[in-house]
A = this chain, B = another copy of it.
Amino acid sequence: MTVTQTPSTAQEPRDDLREHVRDAARRSKRAAAELALLNRGTKDRLLHAMADALVRRAPEVLEANERDIAAGRESGLSEALIDRLTLNTGRIESMADGLRTVAGLPDPVGEVLRGQVLPNGLQLRQVRVPLGVVGMVYEGRPNVTVDAAGLALKSGNSALLRGSSSAARSNDAEVRILRDVLAEFDLPLDAVQLLPSEDRASVQHLITARGLVDVVIPRGGAGLIQAVVENATVPAIETGVGNCHVYVDRAADQDTALEVLVNSKARRPSVCNSAETFLVHSEIADEFLPRALAALAEAGVTVHGDERVRATGGEDVVPATEEDWDAEYLSLDIAAKVVDSLDDAVEHIREHSSAHTEAIVSADYRATQRFTAQVDAAAVMVNASTAFTDGGEFGMGAEIGISTQKLHARGPMALPELTSTKWIAYGDGHVRPTGS
């Protein structure tokens, strides 16, 4: 189909955009069929060549990025968003390094997950295969374009990218470079495509392209994620929202608890694995709370506490409202509550958790066993910071997002999480008896 460049009626642009997105998805699907057959050697060489090209052609990307930044300033983008958007030589080097790291990871495709000879002699095996077309919807971080393309390609998938309009020029420059390398390797350019971002509707068209897109992964703030997950008819993976708790048990080593708590909150408050609430057992609250409040204050953290926390912290503690228990602050704020038992802590977490990461600090064996069994989250930390929930830390080498849903993948997602499986049965004229 041909995209009309000069629509003559008000209705046309929207329909054109839909067809444009669907056509891109169809081409992406065809490309995916070729990518699925590539062996690891080719894919690794491709990623190294892409890394080299990004570094070599960094000036092109930086020039495009400058234009994005200028446009951003003009439209009044906040400094935080401008910072997220800004590339420099160092950031481009890290994107390239990211591609090289992914090249060094094992190829998930072809791995035999299960296999047996059935009683009738049929040889059955389950092998990993690429998902096909991976759709990404993300915000104004131009590094996601390269990260996502690298992970998608290594796992044999096409990347269908829908970035933010604020980063459109930067993304475009990056994708142009990646596609030039695809061309050098005689691989389909459609393996990496950037969808138009000037019209919000392209997101909707992408996430409803059932049968053409195999999965859509939103990456960004809670609003974006909810909008994608609730409106997608394509299978979507919910990522990233982290209302993480640290529970300080009555049997906690208090020095350990202080370190874990402060690290969980203050190491990098803007990321999803940072703690947003801490719960402390009433039996040690009198002793622990003053130390915790002092340590948090020293780290620049504002505490939003319930009445019992305020009884200790006084005026320095902001009164917590019901909203605080559900807040993902992503800032130097933390909610705090005194609980009377491990059961109360588990119950509070069950009610308010986003099922990302929950931590317990305790020296009591049974308490840790009960907490890990009863708390339902992607990751449960025992005497360790919530900050460890991360693909890199988990030894995955990279990460395309952290799934907070239970289906398909849970926790940090890397290469195996971008695959599906296929059953292959080798027979010798096997037929199934009637009535069996």
Q: Which residue of B has the minimal Cβ distance to A230?
A: B233
0/1 string, A373-399, CB within 8 A of B gives 1: 110111111111101110001110000
Interface window among A52-60, A329-337, A403-411:
A403-411
> Which residue on B lies nearest to A390, using beta carbons?
B432
Complex Cα gap A235–B238 (Å):
10
A 111-153 binary contact with B (CB < 8 Å = 1; else 0)? 0000010100010101001011000000000000000000000
Whether A423 and B350, one on each chain, are in contact in the complex, defined by CB atoms closer than 8 angstroms, is no
Nearest CB of B to A93, in Å: 17
Determine whether the beta carbon of B423 is less than 8 Å from that of A394. Answer: yes
Tell me if A434 and B267 are in contact (CB < 8 A). Answer: yes
| CB atoms of A431 and B379 under 8 A apart | no
Evaluate whether A378 and B423 lie within 8 angstroms (CB atoms) in the complex, with A384-B122, A393-B118, A407-B235 already known.
yes
Is A210 an interface position by the 8 A CB rule? Answer: yes
Q: What does the 1/0 interface line of A240-278 toward B look like (CB < 8 Å)?
A: 000000000000010110011001000110000000000
CB contacts (< 8 Å) of A255 on chain B: these are: 429
A339 at the interface (CB under 8 A from B): no
Across-interface contacts of A389 in B (CB, < 8 A): 423
Q: Is A101 an interface residue (CB 8 A)?
A: no
Q: How many residues of A contact B (CB 8 A)?
A: 69
CB-CB nearest in chain B for A429: B256
Q: Are A426 and B267 in contact (CB-based, < 8 A)?
A: no
Taking the nearest CB of chain B, how far is it from the CB of A435, in angstroms? 9
Distance in Å: Cβ of A399 to nearest Cβ of chain B: 13
A214 at the interface (CB under 8 A from B): yes
Chain B positions within 8 Å of A230 at CB level: 210, 233
A422, B378: Cβ atoms under 8 Å? yes
Is the CB–CB distance between A215 and B422 below 8 Å?
A: no
What is the CA–CA distance of A407 and B424 in the complex, to the nearest angstrom? 18
B229/A430 in contact, CB under 8 A:
no
User: A214-230: contact bitstring with B at CB < 8 Å (1 yes, 0 no)?
Assistant: 11000000000000011
User: Is A94 on the interface with B (CB-CB < 8 A)?
Assistant: no
Do residues B263 and A381 form an inter-chain contact, with CB atoms below 8 A?
no
| Min CB gap A138→B, angstroms | 19
The answer for the CA separation of A269 and B162 in the assembled complex, in Å, is: 43
Closest CB in chain B relative to A223 CB, distance in Å: 15
Check A215–B407 contact: CB distance below 8 A.
yes
Q: Which residue of B lies closest to A383 (CB)?
A: B427
The answer to whether A429 and B253 have CB atoms under 8 Å apart is: yes
Given known pairs A260-B431, A430-B384, A432-B388, the reply for A406 and B214 (CB within 8 Å) is yes
- Kindly list chain B residues whose C-beta atoms are within 8 Å of the C-beta of A256: 428-429
Task: Say whether A380 contacts B424, CB under 8 Å.
Answer: yes
A201 sits at the interface (CB 8 A): no
Known: A229-B233, A230-B210, A267-B434. A422 touches B377 (CB 8 A): yes
Residues of chain B within 8 A of A427, CB atoms compared:
381-385, 388
In the complex, which residues of chain B have a beta carbon less than 8 angstroms from the beta carbon of A384?
A: 122, 425-431
With an 8 A cutoff between CB atoms, is A165 at the interface? no
Give A52-100 interface residues, CB cut-off 8 Å to B. none
Tell me the bound Cα distance from A2 to B121 in angstroms.
Answer: 57
Residues of A within 8 A of B (CB): 33, 36-37, 116, 118, 122, 124, 126, 129, 131-132, 210, 214-215, 229-230, 233, 235, 237, 253, 255-256, 259-260, 263, 267-268, 350, 368, 372-374, 376-385, 387-389, 393-395, 405-408, 410-411, 420-432, 434, 436
15 contacts between A and B (CB under 8 A): A33-B350, A118-B393, A230-B233, A237-B407, A260-B429, A381-B425, A384-B426, A385-B431, A388-B425, A388-B432, A394-B423, A408-B408, A410-B420, A410-B421, A411-B421
List 8 tightest A-B contacts by C-beta distance, closest first: A384-B427, A263-B431, A406-B420, A256-B429, A384-B430, A387-B432, A408-B408, A379-B423
Known A-B contacts: A410-B420, A410-B423. Give 13 more (CB < 8 A).
Answer: A116-B395, A229-B233, A260-B429, A368-B426, A378-B422, A378-B423, A383-B428, A387-B431, A387-B432, A389-B423, A406-B420, A410-B422, A411-B421
